[in-house]
Structure 1
Amino acid sequence: MNKQWKKQAATLMVAAMAVSGGAAAYAAPQAGGSQEQKPVVISAVIDYGVLVNGKEVAGAGYMNADAKQVMIPLRSVSEALGFELEWNQQDRSAEMTKPGSPIWTLVQTGKDQYTVNKMYKSLGAAPVNVKGTLYVPANFFSEVLQANVSVDGTKVSISSEEEIKKETVSGTISEIMNNEDRKAVHINGTGTEGIVLNVDESTIIRDAEGKKIELKDLAKGMEIEAVHSMAMTMSLPPQTYAYEISVKPDKEETEQLATAGAITDINADGGNLRVTIKGKGLTEQSPSEVILNLTPETVIVNKEGKTMKSSELTGEAEIIGYYSPVLTKSLPPIGNAIKIVLQ
């Protein structure tokens, strides 16, 4: 009888160790005692092996029972991926960079707040310091360091991206941020519209002739093409990192004025459509309110570049109007629209 109970107890212990956390098993009854089974809590902590580019790294991962995420050692894994880690004891944070890569991030103990494209992102679990080793969720390496991550049973495999995923976007500069705290270019809209391209010293910026220029040389109203990371923040407007920015070789575009805002009046008297825009001038010479005549040559598109009809312009619609710098001296001034972008 004792042999049978021992066999059952062993089976229950194996089952308990197959899951993270604790599980209840039952102790074998004592000889001559009651046959009632008393529950015994068995704690099981499962180690997760970590492979980087096919090679095992020092330190094992573990399951965060609360967040239900695998936590793995930050330093050994990030250094195996080629990152340099600098520890700040004062605020218990780690700053990470990689030579030749635009990726930069800051990880702080106890804060589910990770830096991605100079914006904060939550990953569902905060970094944890266990006996001097800082652990982060496995998805930190995919979401922040742009590596490939897979979890198979109790094995975590991480590999470097052979090529960082990029895509290209074209648009018109509506705002430029160039100060010590922020360097970015806002295109295709104002406020929550469009997209913000974050730049740094690694971003390559070229003029229409292909010569390298600086952020200060860009101007509102310029048409550009940007190569940026496919990783974007969930903010409005979305933000991403720009690897390259090129000014389009159409010098006429830079001579245009532009105003972004709402249509406050639409007038079709005399057979020609005329719209009044009130909002924000996108260049130093652009007024905040302007009346634009739409001609057969005026291009009307949405923010994705799809051609629209003038009949789709309605009162209070948000638009960006691009127009010739030749304006009347009236208030508001009147000019001819070159392009209308419906937001």
Structure 2
Amino acid sequence: MNKQWKKQAATLMVAAIAVSGGGAAYAAPQAEGSQEQKPVVISAVMDYGILVNGKEVAGTGYMNADAKQIMIPLRSVSEALGFELGWNQQDRSAELTKPGSPIWTLVQTGKDQYTVNKMYKSLGAAPVNVKGTLYVPANFFSEVLHANVSADGTKVSISSEEEVKKETVTGKITEIINNEDRQAIHINGTGTEGILLNVDQNTVIRDEEGKKIELKDLAKGKKIEAVHSLAMTMSLPPQTYAYEISVKSDKEETQQLATAGAITDINADGGNLRVTIKGKGLTEQSPNEVVLNLTPETVVVNKDGKTLKASDLADDAEIIGYYSPMLTKSLPAIGNAIKIVLQ
């Protein structure tokens, strides 16, 4: 074996060890005429510097040889992005929250199972605890925390969105969740329909006159306008964070009752269509089951506000029926529909 071939073989072996990610000590071939063989130590751990929004943060990343992913220190990077981290020693998990953000997640040491809005997501590598520091794969910050992540050589750059994208929605409150574990408002539907607006102490809630009120001051049936994050979960109903909620004054609508549910019966009586809705009353006075007569004045629309025909209604269709409080005393009660919204 000539000297040139030996040198190439040694180079290839060193490169293979570095790429494989496993640490190793390699003894270089003994050169001719040498009296002693000198080992060359190859370290497979390569440090990755980390920049968050253009600034260096404490700690460095490393390459996970098995998953072929760069692992990043969780606490220093997430806190630099504005998240608060709570550590649970019992199950060795970390909970991340951010004031004013709908993002919530839980990561647990050794489990490639990341909680995203109460749903599990696999990222290809589990969190690892190295000498007291918890590391997660770099794609955790893009897939879960919605940050921008890029790698250039031995540098990893992570940045949050420069501008929070917001959207405004108008609708009627169909459910209010207000307990120790959670605060949220469901609008424009029940069950899997509509939108769930998550609120916290940073959400600004105002009444019809613009005065600040609290979540407990709201009630089902109220019409509101909400400014919320453009980011929504893929769950049903979709969930998002509400920055502002304003109660809209509409005396005519506050005198209406509403029931959301499925059409269990539909027929023509005296030339006008009559539908039976069975589901959930959306105000305190609204029954869970009601029979509504559709008159020529009844407005029928879809959830986007597009005008429909009464003939578009069918058995088992999910609708919200708005109607006058003037009902018969029969069971179920019968009234005249003011508006039908096809879900």
- Per mean C-alpha deviation after superposition, the further-off stretch among 87-96 and 124-133 is 87-96
Classify 1:315/1:247 alpha carbon distance in 2 versus 1 (closer, same or farther; 3 Å): same
> Partner letter of residue 222 of structure 2?
M
**How much has 1:43 moved relative to structure 2?**
8.3
CA RMSD of aligned residues (A): 3.2
Asked if structure 2 preserves the Cα contact closer than 8 Å seen for 1:223 and 1:248, the reply is: yes
Q: Return the alpha-carbon distance in structure 1 between the equivalents of residues 170 and 254 of structure 2.
A: 15
Q: Return the alpha-carbon distance in structure 2 between the equivalents of residues 331 and 99 of structure 1.
A: 48
Classify 1:67/1:320 alpha carbon distance in 2 versus 1 (closer, same or farther; 3 Å): farther
| TM superposition score normalised by structure 2 | 0.84
Q: Return the alpha-carbon distance in structure 2 between the equivalents of residues 66 and 225 of structure 1.
A: 50
Asked if structure 2 preserves the Cα contact closer than 8 Å seen for 1:20 and 1:45, the reply is: no
**How much has 1:307 moved relative to structure 2?**
2.2
Instruction: Say whether residues 1:311 and 2:314 are aligned partners.
Output: no
Which residues of structure 1 form unaligned runs of 5+? Answer: 32-41
Residue of structure 2 in register with 1:158 after alignment:
158
Q: Return the alpha-carbon distance in structure 2 between the equivalents of residues 281 and 248 of structure 1.
A: 21
- Per mean C-alpha deviation after superposition, the further-off stretch among 173-182 and 232-241 is 232-241
Asked if structure 2 preserves the Cα contact closer than 8 Å seen for 1:16 and 1:43, the reply is: no
**How much has 1:3 moved relative to structure 2?**
1.9
Secondary structure of 2:6's partner? helix
Residue of structure 1 in register with 2:73 after alignment:
73
Asked if structure 2 preserves the Cα contact closer than 8 Å seen for 1:208 and 1:250, the reply is: no
Asked if structure 2 preserves the Cα contact closer than 8 Å seen for 1:301 and 1:308, the reply is: yes
**How much has 1:130 moved relative to structure 2?**
1.2
Q: Return the alpha-carbon distance in structure 1 between the equivalents of residues 20 and 48 of structure 2.
A: 11
| TM superposition score normalised by structure 1 | 0.84
**How much has 1:159 moved relative to structure 2?**
1.7
Which residues of structure 2 form unaligned runs of 5+? Answer: 32-41
**How is 1:58-137 mapped onto 2 (pairs within 5 angstroms)?**
58-96=58-96, 105-114=105-114, 116=116, 119-124=118-123, 125-137=125-137
**How is 1:128-207 mapped onto 2 (pairs within 5 angstroms)?**
128-207=128-207
Q: Return the alpha-carbon distance in structure 2 between the equivalents of residues 191 and 83 of structure 1.
A: 31
Once the two structures are aligned, what percentage of the paired residues are identical? Answer: 86
Q: Deviations over 1:285-316 (max 9, x none)?
A: 11111111222332222223322221110111
- Per mean C-alpha deviation after superposition, the further-off stretch among 206-215 and 247-256 is 247-256
Residue of structure 1 in register with 2:287 after alignment:
287
Residue of structure 1 in register with 2:49 after alignment:
49
Residue of structure 2 in register with 1:263 after alignment:
263
Q: Return the alpha-carbon distance in structure 2 between the equivalents of residues 100 and 286 of structure 1.
A: 34
> Partner letter of residue 161 of structure 1?
E
Residue of structure 2 in register with 1:208 after alignment:
208
Q: Return the alpha-carbon distance in structure 1 between the equivalents of residues 113 and 181 of structure 2.
A: 19
Classify 1:162/1:308 alpha carbon distance in 2 versus 1 (closer, same or farther; 3 Å): same
Q: Return the alpha-carbon distance in structure 2 between the equivalents of residues 174 and 158 of structure 1.
A: 39
- Per mean C-alpha deviation after superposition, the further-off stretch among 141-150 and 278-287 is 141-150
**How much has 1:158 moved relative to structure 2?**
0.9
Q: Return the alpha-carbon distance in structure 1 between the equivalents of residues 140 and 181 of structure 2.
A: 25
- Per mean C-alpha deviation after superposition, the further-off stretch among 246-255 and 101-110 is 101-110
**How much has 1:113 moved relative to structure 2?**
4.7
Q: Deviations over 1:78-112 (max 9, x none)?
A: 23334444434333233445567676554432344
> Partner letter of residue 141 of structure 1?
F
- Per mean C-alpha deviation after superposition, the further-off stretch among 67-76 and 315-324 is 67-76
Q: How many residues align?
A: 332
> Partner letter of residue 121 of structure 2?
S
Q: Return the alpha-carbon distance in structure 2 between the equivalents of residues 121 and 253 of structure 1.
A: 41
- Per mean C-alpha deviation after superposition, the further-off stretch among 249-258 and 104-113 is 104-113
